[in-house]
Structure 1
């Protein structure tokens, strides 16, 4: 009976609880809503048995050789908390003045971005669902950069509605990844305008991707960034947003990835893709609790293709 009640509360929090938080945001100060959101995230962690089990399983597989079971549980709880903070940040930051946004979100490595854009062929930001990733494009927009995100439709339509509204209000555009050909055409148009195309490479791309090593296991990754770069000449820069302990954020922009081509197309794409994924993994290892995809079946297809 107790387990059923906790499960019901977790289910309620994922829909009605979210709507309640959004309502409270309109009448309460930020300093009161964020602690409430963290508390609700902890309750959701307790009740969302399947998501919690998957997160702990993925963490044990990826980091279990270097961390204790208790440490992995702490990371899982922090990851669930990050999910709630992303939604709250998305709602809060959409109404900020440029001055307030710039004070709360710093940029490290903007010179790499500027140098890449000077080539006039656009930039592909290879990113991940790390930290409050929805804020990344909004903050860059205040510096005069135009950002377009490639995204999948969210399972929770309320969350998708919130994020899409935030993107519209902050000048960001979204291209949905399906159908693939239409997506690729729109991506090429973005790059031809010398703008920034953000592609998050930390989701399972199934059999349409290529297998690379991610946390010591095979994982299927989208080849789009490499193929787009090959076809358009766009630079690829790893780019992430990280939450600081004081609640502020920093966008970390890495130097352009230098590709190597030796004449074997598939091997070249896989090798260059591996270099990008290695950078993503390094950043996740540095901030594991800020990666929300521990609850996803990230390695499922890769596991199926590995020798038994």
Structure 2
């Protein structure tokens, strides 16, 4: 409850403080957390991720990149506090993309659209911007063990116009698609029960949900990432790959794996372009003895 009340107070105070100041404070907080509170395991996972994506082998350079990566992540906290203070028109103006025709193409099929993305940039703000452009937008999310944190996240997303479908209520996801609306899912989540694919040339086990939902519903998938550009800290840019459509309706293991791999292949170049804004601080790849491929 203390965290929830602190967040509510931060939202009020945010109205009185310049945006750049908030970003600066968040970056300093991120630096402190990285240096003194992040576990060695989390730092090692971050360096491993950056090494695989960037090709950099120097331990010193990877450590510097890891710190910068976490500072970028910390700046999202300022945005998260700021969300409830933005008017719909302001929210729409924060999202920049020239790929809306692809969204129209997918929705014109009448089967809904599945956004598949990763923890990059400010995905919640991007979802709010999409919703305010007139496209009903839902995210699949897990319930937090702490009910106050769960309430905090849901209320913030509701203020953005983003609906929440809990992962333990899959029928709701299909209802969203039957209404020809947008359903968003994250793919960069280690999933012991997921599907094994190649991620940047190495085996990883990622969620099968996006592919399985697409195969069962017929909904097209749009792989995309959200990122910021230097000098445009207050704007979310969208990088989008061409739509991917399910081939057939068989959600067997082979079909799910093939579709998931197609999505991963589309996401990889976009992740590589902005790897210092990719926020995953736990191991993503399988150990050699865990891989089956």
For Structure 1 versus Structure 2, the TM-score category normalised by the shorter chain is: 0.7 to 0.9
Query: 2 CA distance for matches of 1:237 and 1:210?
Result: 19
Range 63-72 or range 257-266, more displaced? 257-266
Structure 2 CA distance for partners of 1:31 and 1:149, relative to 1, 3 Å: same
Q: How far did residue 17 of structure 1 move?
A: 9.4
Question: Contact 1:86/1:134 (CA < 8 Å) preserved in 2?
Answer: no
Q: Does 1:250 align with 2:248?
A: no
Q: Aligned partners of 2:178 and 2:284: how far apart in 1? A: 32
The 1:92–1:15 alpha-carbon spacing in structure 2 relative to 1, beyond 3 Å, is closer
Determine if contact 1:239/1:252 at 8 Å carries over to the other structure. yes
Report the counterpart of residue 281 of structure 1 in structure 2. Answer: 268
108, 111, 117: which one aligns with 1:121: 111
For 1:199-238, list aligned pairs within 5 A: 199-206=185-192, 208-238=193-223
**What secondary structure is seen at the aligned counterpart in 1 of 2:260?**
helix
Worse overlay, 248-257 or 31-40: 248-257
Q: Deviations over 1:52-86 (max 9, x none)?
A: 233123333x2474453333223312221232222
Aligned to 2:14: 25
1:188 alignment partner in structure 2? 174
* 2:27 is aligned with 1:38: yes
Tell me, which stretches of 5 or more residues in structure 1 are unaligned? 1-13
Alpha carbons of structure 1 residues 280 and 152: separation in structure 2 relative to 1, 3 Å = farther
Deviation at residue 25 of structure 1 after TM alignment: 2.0
Distance in 2 between residues matched to 1:296 and 1:156, nearest whole Å: 21
Q: How has the CA–CA distance of structure 1 residues 44 and 24 changed in structure 2, closer, same or farther, with 3 Å as cutoff? A: farther
RMSD, matched Cα: 2.8
User: In the comparison of the two structures, how many residue pairs are matched?
Assistant: 286
Query: Are residues 213 and 288 of structure 1, via their aligned partners in 2, closer, same or farther at CA, if it must alter by over 3 Å?
Result: same
Q: Which runs of 5+ in 2 are unaligned?
A: none
**Cα distance, 1:54–1:282 mapped onto 2, change above 3 Å:** same
**Is the 8 Å Cα contact of residues 139 and 184 (structure 2) preserved in structure 1?**
yes
Partner residue in 1 for 2:141 = 151
Q: Check the 8 A contact 1:137/1:147 in 2, yes or no.
A: yes
Higher helix share: 1
